[in-house]
Structure 1
Amino acid sequence: MSQQLILKNGGDVWHTNNPANRLGESPIYRSIDSTLHWTDIHATPCTIQILKIEPRTGDVLGPARILEVPFDPITVIRFRRDVPGSYICGYKKGIAFLSEESGEVEVVKELLKEDETGLTMNDGGVDPQGRFWIGSVDLEAIDAQQSGKEYGEPRGKLWRYSPDGSCTIMESGVMIGNGMCWSPDGKYMFYNDSGPQAVWRYDFDSKTGDISNKTIMTLDGLPKGVMNDGMINDESGNLWIAMWMMHSINVCSPEGALLQTIEFPARCITCPTWGGENNDILFVASAQPIVEKAAPGDQGGHMFRYKPEGVKGMPTYEFAG
């Protein structure tokens, strides 16, 4: 007998951004001061938003602090474990450190050269040992896919940046590199390529940071144009995947079976994160549609909160450098 899909209502907007984010992304929670941080990639200039919350309930405590970053679009942020007030982040062409106080950016690794047109950096994450991973997007491959043209292998890549400053290409042939997470036991790494609507699962060597035995889990039944975007997991190993253009977070087993769908009143759900004192509150970023106009009543560009019953999430790891 097949398992019945569970549908849940994620609720209305929890925090209203003023103005609404154009592309809210990469939310992360810091327990030491109970703050939620995220980036609006397409704001002019790009912004980091920092919101104080009550750790038990997740209620908002005061207005968000908006940090302007007049540099490049900041595509992903993670905390640095031993450098308070500093993020490691992705920007259009590489990796940088970013001051939480001033917004000052220090480029640490340029990954895309000037002649590599049609490519941009995108989402990333930190593994349990404190290494930073970041992937790129092949914009020309996306255009070819949407127009039905032949293109060949996408040019996007996935990099691993270690605290000692070494940087290694770990995967190629990526179209739209997006969310990633690691299984609770640290044996597997999961990575979204949104172009083919696939989750890639690898065996993960925690000592070396190497990945092997790539398995492709295609997310069947998704309408054309829907993308599996940001991704986190819970203590049971289930994947919580933001579904761009689908109003939802889809919860899947580590094998790719769809377990439940949590629906929100925003078509473009971008990325979730766990937070709160027990790591059991889901905070969800969203965006306004990029191409078409938003439908009446669409609440994209604001933040959502959802508290699932009996579920705790995995922590957001911090860069060890």
Structure 2
Amino acid sequence: MKAEQVTAPVTWHGEGPSWDRVGQRLLVVDMLAGAVVDLASFDRPRRYDVGSPVAAVIRRRASGGLIVATEHGFSLFDEEFSLDRRLPDVLTDPGIRLNEGGCDPFGRFFCGSMAYDATPGAAAIYRLEPDGKTSVALTGATISNGLQWSADGSLAYYVDTDTRRVDVFDYDGADGSFHDRRPLVTIGDDVAGSPDGMTIDADGGLWVAFWGGGAVRRYDQTGALTAVLDVPGVTNTSAAAFGGHDLDTLYITSSRQHLPDDAEPQAGAVFAAQPGVRGVALPDYAG
């Protein structure tokens, strides 16, 4: 199974694809450029500066508008990306930035971090409650990446890239806490690349983008590999999300980070495939 390129290289470090069901549009972040790219039209992308060196994650707000995780905190925007307000920073160390996250089924927004130099154990996951209060949900991570929940909210799935694993937690929706961490998938040395961003389908399958591997791999609830989606022409496949009217298209972001200027001219583009399963609607931030 292969993905096809559907946009020009619209990002330098493409990440965080998110299907906006209200606007029926694909949103991606150009993470280290501090920009959101609106792909309502693949031929006419629109870029929005978020007022920060980093745009890490974007989600819809239940009250209207959007929330973006930026370099050190969270910012609220209206539908056209005019700033509503910035929340107090959760990070104070200039050597650490926010990186990847999402919303749980109960309306909380989570975002993990990483050190700019990928210092082992320096990262964490931060929890933003609907009332705007923040707290630390998990510590001791290195490169905090894919974060997803089961449909009933009882399980959470997580990628800390350096572990080369997909882990599963028992999740307490009452207080947004993670418990009993254990490996679901351990990536063998024979697999190219490292696990990065991740999304979940309606059957509970986890689609994991492999940075340095040029592919997205699907694992079922037992951790078994059930599908491999090749992304031709690029090495750094960074994240994936289901979108389209029926949530039956898998969109994949890619990156030019760490590449020579003359290598992989398609890197930074968005790719797509119809893998034969549907995704689930991304939960909103309830704040």
For residue 308 of structure 1, the aligned residue among 257, 275, 285 is 275
Root-mean-square deviation (Å): 2.1
* Mapping for residues 123-202 of structure 1, pairs under 5 Å: 123-140=100-117, 142=118, 154-202=121-169
Instruction: Say yes or no: does 1:47 pair with 2:35.
Output: yes
**Aligned equivalents of 1:166, 1:108: Cα separation in 2:** 9
Corresponding position of 2:13: 23
The 1:196–1:49 alpha-carbon spacing in structure 2 relative to 1, beyond 3 Å, is: same
1:10 to 3, 12, 15: 3
User: Partners in 2 of 1:105 and 1:195 — Cα distance?
Assistant: 36
Query: Partner letter of residue 27 of structure 1?
Result: P
Q: Does 1:119 align with 2:96?
A: yes
- Aligned pairs (5 A) from 1:255-266: 255-265=222-232, 266=234
Q: Deviations along 1:171-219, whole A, 9 cap, x unmatched? A: 1110000111111232100111001212221101223322211113453
Number of residue pairs the alignment of both structures matches: 286
Bigger CA radius of gyration: 1
Report the alpha carbon displacement of residue 225 of structure 1 after superposing the two structures with TM: 8.2
Which sections of structure 1, spanning at least 5 residues, go unmatched? 1-7, 54-59, 144-152
Instruction: Give how far 1:105 is off.
Output: 6.4
Q: Deviations over 1:97-123 (max 9, x none)?
A: 13442543632131112xx35321111
Aligned counterparts of 1:225 and 1:105: Cα–Cα separation in 2: 42
Q: Decide which of 74, 89, 107 is 1:95's aligned counterpart.
A: 74
Counterpart CA distance in 2 for 1:76 and 1:239 is: 19
Q: Indicate yes or no: 2:178 matched with 1:211.
A: yes
Alignment of 1:267-278 (within 5 A): 267-278=235-246
Question: SS at the partner of 1:90?
Answer: strand
**Alpha carbons of 1:103 and 1:244: their partners in 2 closer, same or farther (altered >3 Å)?**
farther
**Does structure 2 conserve the Cα–Cα contact (< 8 Å) formed by 1:71 and 1:105?**
no
Output aligned runs, 1:65-80, within 5 Å: 65-80=46-61
Distance 1:224 1:176, change over 3 A: farther
Aligned to 1:279: 247
Match of 1:4 in 2: none
Aligned to 2:26: 36
Deviation per CA, 1:79-105, whole angstroms, max 9, x where unpaired? Answer: 11112xx22121111222134425436
Change (3 A) 1:313 1:102: closer
Normalised to the residue count of structure 2, the TM-score between the two structures is 0.91
* Offset at residue 276 of structure 1 (A): 1.4
What TM-score comes out, normalization by structure 1 length? 0.82
Q: Which amino acid aligns with 1:89?
A: V
| 1:81 equivalent in alignment to 2:62 | yes
Q: Deviations over 1:48-90 (max 9, x none)?
A: 111226xxxxxx4x5122223343311111111112xx22121
Q: 1:291 aligns with which of 255, 258, 263?
A: 258
- C-alpha deviations, 1:118-156, integer Å up to 9, x for none? 32111110011110001111344x36xxxxxxxxx6121
